[in-house]
A = this chain, B = another copy of it.
Amino acid sequence: MTIHSFASASSMLPRDVRAALGSDVAVWQNSGLSALELPFTGKEFADILALAEHDLRALLDLPDTYSVLFLQGGASAQFSLLPMNLLGGLKHCDYVESGHWSRRAIAEARPWCDVRIIESRDEGSLPPPGEWDRSHDAAYCHFTTNETANGLQFHSYPEASDVPVVADMTADFLTRPVPVERFGVIYASAQKNLGAAGLTIVIVRRDLLGRARSGTPAPFDYARQAEAKSKVNTPPTFAVLVAARMLGWLRKTGGLAAAEERNKRKSAKLYAAIDGEFYRCPAPPPHRSSISVCFRLHDPALDLMFLEEAQARGLLHLRGHPAIGGIRASLYNAVEERSVDALVSFMSDFKRRRG
């Protein structure tokens, strides 16, 4: 039976990448060592790290005015580390509240700065970036590009201003082109579109470095990590290799524009199968995510049956976020169109039998 995983984390890997990594663990190139055994101070790992950064810069067309950091701790750690690193002498930070994950970011920032909720939508829609009531005296303005738990995604980005824009792009990082020059900081943990859990990418505009408060842990101090090329302490070497392989695959398959086209096609097929009657999608069409497709069955009693029957057919990990419930299909870059086809076919069959 073919297995299709729609897990929120960790995502599936492209089959080529998965095969290459199995071989990397056995032996890394002509080193005689497993990829897991490479010293983080050696040339082999320096080459892997440089390749990952090179491909990331190429994909995003990232200017030299930005540093790329390979950190640990997950995006959740950044929720606290952003104000620790960026507040400088200022007090206020703007936050857009748009769902589960932006609320988590806000809760963790509160002990470190005066959080201003500049937009808040409880009804499951997203406040258009052009209408945000942005402050002039904030250290930064934070938002979450894709609310995975709620199935919402911003389809436009805020303009740049004197107050740097900071974006948690964890769920949709590298799933579409991004106007990086509009951002002060972009961060994303890797387990969705870059492979292995345990790695967090932080892209930071260099003029924002050096503002960290005293006591910021050295491995999480942006300026120190930028200076040390992410080697203040031992980086998660194997997770960086997984990311390097994912980035290489993404370039080979056409880069971000091609990825966006594939992701739009995949999600459009799935949204088309959500008929509004038997299957219902709470997210309003203009704000629906191409990456996190969340829906419910018309009768909540059917949710569990749907999940169990799907699993029996190899359609795995479709349970919604615990805070929200229902069904969620995460369609990260490595989820193939044939997986969506299999899910759509199952949905049609399930509806015929249970509708």
Residues of A within 8 A of B (CB): 1, 3, 5, 7-13, 18-19, 21-23, 25-26, 31-34, 36-40, 42, 72-77, 79-81, 108, 111-112, 189, 191, 195-199, 214-220, 232-239, 242, 314, 316-317
Contacts and interface: CB of A to CB of B under 8 A. Distances in A.
A44 to B, nearest CB: 10
A25 to B, nearest CB: 4
Nearest to A195: B36
A80 B217 contact: yes
Contact of A3 (B25, B32, B234): B32
Given A12-B37, A18-B34, A79-B218, 5 more contacts: A21-B36, A32-B316, A36-B242, A73-B77, A198-B239
Nearest to A31: B3
A37 B5 contact: yes
Number of copies: 2
A189 B233 CA distance: 11
B21 A25 contact: yes
A18 B36 CA distance: 8
A279 to B, nearest CB: 23
A238 B18 contact: no
B234 A191 contact: yes
A40 B195 contact: no
Contact of A233 (B1, B18, B74): B74
A115 B39 CA distance: 33
B196 A238 contact: yes
A216 B77 CA distance: 9
Contacts of A18: 25-26, 34, 36-37
A73 B72 CA distance: 5
Interface centre among A1, A76, A196, A234 (most CB of B within 10 A): A234
A268 B3 CA distance: 52
Interface centre among A5, A9, A189, A238 (most CB of B within 10 A): A238
A197 B40 contact: yes
6 contacts: A22-B23, A40-B197, A77-B218, A80-B216, A191-B237, A196-B236
B220 A32 contact: no
Contacts of A217: 73, 76-77, 79-81, 108
